[in-house]
Structure 1
Amino acid sequence: MTQAAKKRADRDLTKGSLPKHIVRLAGPMALGILAIMTMNIVDTYFVGQLGTDQLAAMSFTFPVVFFLSSLTLGMGVGVTSVVSRAVGRKDHPKARRVTTDALALATIVVAVISVAGYLTIEPIFTMLGAAPKLMPLITEYMSIWYFGAAFLVVPMIGNAAIRSTGDTRTPALIMLGVAGLNMLLDPLFIFGVGDWEGWGIGGAATASVVSRGVALVAAFWILRRREDLISFEMPDMTEVLQSWREVMRVGAPAGATRSVVPLTNAFITALIAGFGTEAVAGYGAATRVEAFALVLSNGLTASLGPLVGQNWGAHQKDRVYKAIIYTCTAVAAVSVAIWGLLYGFAEPIGDLFTDSDEAIAVFVLFVAIVPLGHALQGTFRAMSNAWNAIDRPFPAAALSLLRTVGLIAPFAWLGAEFFGISGMFWGIMLANATAGLVAIVAAKPVIESTDHE
């Protein structure tokens, strides 16, 4: 067997050891997630060196950036679902058609949103509460960001198509390259070099656009030259519209439910603010640490997209069930181990973020309680990804809304009202655990009620 043939065989997720596939897929997934998180932290760090106004201006851009990112991630979920099932059926023409059409749809959507966003920068950010003195800085950043938004969106869709083939390593390498390039360009474009003073906050946006542009070129090259998943033939509009319907059937609910997350986070932050500034500081540090603690778990659950999709497309329901069980078991083991590390080293980790005893106490309380629910929270994510992969987006969306709006918000509020800040953290933990339990109960009925294509 040639090396190329061996690689193709390794990426055929309908055969071979499921645990081996899960490990092979999850590692790069986690690295890709880590790369994106690092990129955001680096941007924030360097812009913070410019001054408080620049950092505040960039902070105001986060909700808008998160909204478009959520929409893109939703479309990526849709692409993974449709393309992976086509790959599982060995229907390469379908996979190529959907990938090509999804990239075209993403380009159209981002163009419309970018133009509308550019024309409404001032009213949108005024509505979000930005002070007039920050508006020039926000406009400088967002004008560049909107101009290069396609460089953010299109590579994410392309990487989703690559993952659908069973290759999560290449997208991870692309994102690691983007993060590394952005880390090099940020100080250069923001602060300049020699007699050139740089572009300030606009330099941060430019560095992101240039870095993502490299990802765009890399993703297109791989999709066209290696995977043959991009077609330049004149399409039949009936086929194009069918592709768009299939992608958005999964992508629209996935993107919409992701957009609710910042609203829930804002509500929780408002609750924490009632306990004082030190509590907010401790909570903010704890949530940042939690995001890193969830990287491996999220990589494991994300691997279910291509794994379940390919096996579902190949009509191998038994492998779908086993993949879900193996993944949830691995997530539980990882979650327990990480909780133990966080609990054991809570105070030293908290000391890295603040020297306030009160803030550290809140940090320690959070990492002792909330991560107890990570194992079942991982089950919730696993089932959401599995349901999307088999073209059942609405149970996944309903579960996501149940967790954020129906469980986390009221449980946290009730806990805070009756038991203070510790009660609030117990409420968040119980909400995540309950969502996981509901997912377990609903898992088999949802899968059994779904017909193969």
Structure 2
Amino acid sequence: MGEARPAGTAPSAHFVTGSTLRHVVVMGATGSVGLMAIFVVDLLSLLYIARLGDPTLTAAVGFATIVQIFAVSINIGMMIAVGALVSRALGRGDVGQARRLAASALVLSVAGSAAVTALLLPLLDPALRLIGAGPETVPAARTFLWIALPSTMLMAIGMGFSGVLRAIGDARRAMMVTLAGAAVTAVLDPVLIFGLGLGIEGAAITVVLARLAFAWVGYSGAVSVHNMVARPDAAAILADAGPILRVALPTVLTNLAPPVASAFLAHVMAGFGTATVAGNAVVDRVVPVAFGGLFALSGAVGPILGQNWGAGRFDRMRAALRDAALVTGLYVAVVWLALFLGRGPLTALFGLEGAGADLLGFFCLAGGAIWFFNGLLFLGNASFNNLGFPLAASALNWGRATLGTMPPALLGAHLAGPEGAMAGMGIGSALFGVMGLALAFRVVGVLERREAVAGLEADGRQTVERPVS
């Protein structure tokens, strides 16, 4: 699983054999290491900004992150699309199609990222005000975004290569892609923020350089080592655009829902003052560090499902979903205990006081329950995106972002302040999480019945066409 392959040699679709639990754990664990490394250094970056002693800057980075998520969602959608299509092609043994689809998807991903960046940059001020940024935080957030936002095109390249590596099962090199960006951030953030005195501008410059490393290491693994990305061809891109966008557009739509929910929650929190906004910004950075394994797990299960669908192994698809749900529960239990025990030191570390400290403390007490159900929804979405039902993922994610977030968050805020808003959002997560996993198993059954019907029809045609002796 790591050796270089000459062009035209099909990588082994090894997810169709062996223990599904082992595949889930290995892919999820390696993905977690890479993702959580990025999330940890992002948290450190926010900590460095917080150490500057100005809560306005901490809040500004929080608002800037929300805006960036909209652009990053395009990249995530394209990464999921390339992983789904490449893994499916490899499951059928068609390496040529897999390489061509990878190239086409990468080009489309960069184009989409460039378009979103060009749209957002002129609208930064109204966008920041819309999600609750006040006049004191808008200038700092705007400065950060003008530097960092264009680098989402580099991130599109890196995430596309990472999706290719996961599709072929090279979990180690996919992990190294994200570790490279994390390493650059860990080294340069304190140098630029404090050493050169660049403050929030230094944090934004580090984001750009980290994404450059992200793209370079991804290229080295997917192209130089595995040769799994063909040379882009205009005719192929046009031919592949339809199949790619049929997966990518609903997936992008799905991934735009969480930032909408986060933006709405940030708007609600802004009504309770700057201290609450700063506390919510810390929660937003703690969440990926604490529960980054759930993001990685949903990314891990997709290629496993895709390869087994291509091979017609529906029993293994069900087993992979069951194993992933089990790992989700065990992971959340461990993280929840750690948050419970560490809520005091964590609050002190970021210098939060008053309402901000109360909000972070409540998250440490209740976040585990909320994110267990979010994890189940992630598994459902990964199944829908990789098995040809991306609109189901869009419907569930937007359902959670609207019906599952807005009314309960507003009601909770009215009854119990910022903590009530967070609790209300958690109730919506529970409903949609259970629904998502249940529907994922149903999708596997639908696909199995379709294949059985297709097989019977093929047998019937052969019987009719067979000459009578």
The alpha-carbon deviation at position 90 of structure 1 amounts to 1.4
> Partners of 2:423 and 2:42 in 1: how far apart?
29
The alpha-carbon deviation at position 405 of structure 1 amounts to 0.8
The alpha-carbon deviation at position 13 of structure 1 amounts to 0.8
Counterpart amino acid of 2:210?
S
The alpha-carbon deviation at position 253 of structure 1 amounts to 1.9
> Partners of 1:15 and 1:317 in 2: how far apart?
12
Q: TM-score, normalised by structure 2?
A: 0.81
Bigger drift between 212-221 and 17-26 goes to: 212-221
Contact 1:257-1:397 within 8 A present in 2 as well: yes
Contact 1:78-1:246 within 8 A present in 2 as well: no
Cα 1:119–1:28 change in 2 (3 A) is same
Bigger drift between 33-42 and 173-182 goes to: 33-42
> Partners of 1:265 and 1:179 in 2: how far apart?
24
Gaps of 5+ in 1: none
Count residues with an aligned counterpart: 445
Is residue 298 of structure 1 aligned with residue 295 of structure 2? yes
Contact 1:97-1:231 within 8 A present in 2 as well: yes
Deviations 1:206-242 (A, max 9, x none): 333233223322222322232222222755x2x4234
Is residue 325 of structure 1 aligned with residue 322 of structure 2? yes
Contact 1:304-1:324 within 8 A present in 2 as well: yes
> Partners of 2:82 and 2:314 in 1: how far apart?
21
Q: SS at the partner of 1:407?
A: coil
> Partners of 2:287 and 2:384 in 1: how far apart?
25
Deviations 1:327-373 (A, max 9, x none): 10111122233323433444454444446466555444333334224
> Partners of 1:321 and 1:270 in 2: how far apart?
40
Contact 2:34-2:175 within 8 A present in 1 as well: yes
The alpha-carbon deviation at position 325 of structure 1 amounts to 0.6
Q: CA RMSD in A?
A: 3.6
> Partners of 2:357 and 2:118 in 1: how far apart?
44
The alpha-carbon deviation at position 326 of structure 1 amounts to 0.8
Bigger drift between 305-314 and 113-122 goes to: 113-122
Cα 1:241–1:447 change in 2 (3 A) is farther
Bigger drift between 166-175 and 408-417 goes to: 408-417
The answer for the alignment partner of 2:463 in structure 1 is none
The alpha-carbon deviation at position 110 of structure 1 amounts to 3.2
The alpha-carbon deviation at position 85 of structure 1 amounts to 0.8
Q: TM-score, normalised by structure 1?
A: 0.84
Cα 1:96–1:340 change in 2 (3 A) is same
The answer for the alignment partner of 1:225 in structure 2 is 224
The alpha-carbon deviation at position 203 of structure 1 amounts to 4.1
The answer for the alignment partner of 2:21 in structure 1 is 19
> Partners of 1:217 and 1:312 in 2: how far apart?
31
Bigger drift between 137-146 and 441-450 goes to: 137-146
Contact 1:158-1:220 within 8 A present in 2 as well: yes
Is residue 161 of structure 1 aligned with residue 158 of structure 2? no
The answer for the alignment partner of 2:209 in structure 1 is 210
The answer for the alignment partner of 2:33 in structure 1 is 31
Bigger drift between 11-20 and 97-106 goes to: 11-20
Bigger drift between 278-287 and 397-406 goes to: 278-287
Counterpart amino acid of 1:163?
R
Gaps of 5+ in 2: 455-469
Counterpart amino acid of 2:227?
D
Deviations 1:177-213 (A, max 9, x none): 2211233233444566xxxx57665444433323322
> Partners of 1:384 and 1:131 in 2: how far apart?
35
Contact 1:264-1:405 within 8 A present in 2 as well: yes
The answer for the alignment partner of 2:256 in structure 1 is 259
The alpha-carbon deviation at position 268 of structure 1 amounts to 2.7
Bigger drift between 421-430 and 387-396 goes to: 421-430
The answer for the alignment partner of 1:100 in structure 2 is 103
